[in-house]
Amino acid sequence: MYVGAAMIAWDNANYYWYDGVCYAQANGGYNAVAPPIGAIVPSLPSGTITTDVDDVTYWYYGGTFFVPAPGGGYKVVPAPAGAVVYNLPDGATTVNADGITYLQYNGAYFQPIQDSNGNNAYEVVDAE
């Protein structure tokens, strides 16, 4: 594991947080994984953006949403419906439901949209 990686103990498992990427031990090595919902990470990576939904500010990076955690750090939270982001991480899968195409990542559904300026974006939707 990387020198300086922070260990995150969550739900009887150890994860490691390094430069905005979460790692889990697997097959004698480590694989990049989505950070588990509820876990607290010590810091956010550069490139994190903010998005506001219902008067709550969320931080977004690499398909994951965060809010400030009591006592410091940032808590991983479920993707809030209505959040608009401009990129999704590799590994998002295409899902078609009722003739609508969504992208799914870490249990969240993102619908491709165009923002008010005509830019391509993705909006979190309740698609279950």
How do residues 37-71 score in pLDDT, each as one tens digit?
Answer: 999 999 898 889 999 999 999 999 988 999 999 99
Read off the pTM: 0.86
Q: Is residue 76 situated within a structural domain?
A: yes
DSSP string, 86-100: S---TT-EEEEETTE
pLDDT over 90 (residue 106): no
Q: Are 56 and 81 in contact (CB under 8 A)?
A: no
CA distance 88 to 104: 9
The pLDDT tens digits of the residues spanning 65-95 come to: 999 999 999 999 999 999 999 998 888 899 9
Give the range of the structural domain holding residue 55, as residue numbers without chain letter: 6-125
DSSP reduced 3-state for 123: strand
Residue 103 lies in a domain: yes
- Residue 84: inside a domain, yes or no? yes
Instruction: Give residue 103's pLDDT.
Output: 93
Work out how many domains the chain is built from and give that number: 1
For residue 14, name the pLDDT band (cuts at 50, 70, 90).
Answer: confident
Q: Say if 1 falls within a structural domain.
A: no
Residue 82 counted as domain residue? yes
The answer to whether position 59 is within a domain reads yes
Q: What is the pLDDT of residue 86?
A: 92
